[in-house]
Chain A
């Protein structure tokens, strides 16, 4: 209990003192996670929409695999990305290992199935509503996908936020491919893991509270910008 209280005080102290190291860690965490969410959304949302409007032989199997990939173990993803990016790996020449880019790549792989699966479910419902109209209007498949993404943007925001939630709290993969290098690839989660390992529970908890606050703040900001839950109608 003492550790928790101490952690809260430390968190408060770190925030009001605007600790430079802490700010760097926060900014890197945000940069990595938001970049991963943006890239994953650009891949996953059109894919989810395409899956909703398409009928092909292995559609059910594709959906089942996509749903299964939502639970992709981050450590395994980290290991695979590590092997691909390591000096002897096929992408070793790019020299990306232990950089924020490598962390973004790992996070994109982890959250893309999650965002795609939630997008698919949201767009499937909207497609059921729009199906006859869009067929009647002779909309091409691309036009249907764009229409569904545009009109389903609020549900798709939830998909992105789910991806953000998973990515901001992720530690296994980014620890492996980022290496937790001070001032280069240290994020809030890897810093928490490090401090816990060192036995500094209060500081680790302080970082944890900041991480939670950050996640809440980003969610609120996105909801506020996109005006969700404000208007009762679309």
Chain B
């Protein structure tokens, strides 16, 4: 039994598809609790990097080690996709599903699911099909579903892309609450304002490589790399 699955140590990890390097080689440690944001231009490999950390993409070379056995580490993580993947079930059944997978009894899972739905203002929609929810509601449901089993690490892939201000604010509130309960959040985003609002540390990715990984305050005030400076200035990076 381990107390924490962190740190995550990644060494010389490399991912390529059809002969083209997508990620790597990258070496970094995820150690601290709090909010890590991955930023970078489109196509820089942010999502692939996030998926690699979670285990949805396997590095062809290099190693990725958690503070425990990989199988055990997987049990304490959750992932929220950019386009939420919801089960073809009702809202509450979507909430219950991961709790039941973790072995929770139905009644207990049902009660917990209701608590979460109340928190994200979807309790009245409990019995509706998840398909008919709005984009923002679907994303809130996906995030609540990820957080409900109390994972130690949550990965989020651009969770507020294409959402309106109200939904973005609700989701950020949800994530801030999760941080208070010692959940580690690793999130990709395009929204610089959001990165500034939420981040404790920032990882800047460009062309599959990590150009900077530092505390949010130092990254936004005094970036080291030329690429990060150009990106923050609003230049187009190809």
Q: Which residues of A contact B (CB under 8 A)?
A: 126, 129-130, 132-133, 135-139, 143, 147, 151-152, 231, 233-234
Contacts and interface: CB of A to CB of B under 8 A. Distances in A.
A55 to B, nearest CB: 14
Contacts of A143: 101
24 contacts: A129-B85, A130-B87, A132-B79, A132-B81, A132-B85, A133-B85, A133-B87, A135-B56, A136-B54, A136-B56, A136-B79, A137-B78, A137-B101, A138-B75, A139-B101, A143-B101, A147-B87, A151-B88, A151-B89, A152-B88, A233-B132, A234-B88, A234-B129, A234-B131
Contact of B129 (A135, A137, A152, A233): A233
Contacts of A138: 74-75, 101
Interface of B: 54-56, 74-75, 78-79, 81, 85, 87-89, 97-98, 101, 129, 131-132
Contacts, number: 40
A126 B85 CA distance: 11
B89 A133 contact: no
A110 B81 CA distance: 42
Contacts of B56: 132, 135-136
B156 to A, nearest CB: 12
Given A151-B88, A234-B88, A136 B78 contact: yes
Given A130-B87, A135-B56, A152-B88, 6 more contacts: A132-B81, A133-B87, A136-B56, A231-B129, A233-B129, A234-B88
Contacts of A136: 54, 56, 78-79
B100 to A, nearest CB: 9
A82 B89 CA distance: 45
B5 to A, nearest CB: 13
Contacts of A137: 78, 97-98, 101
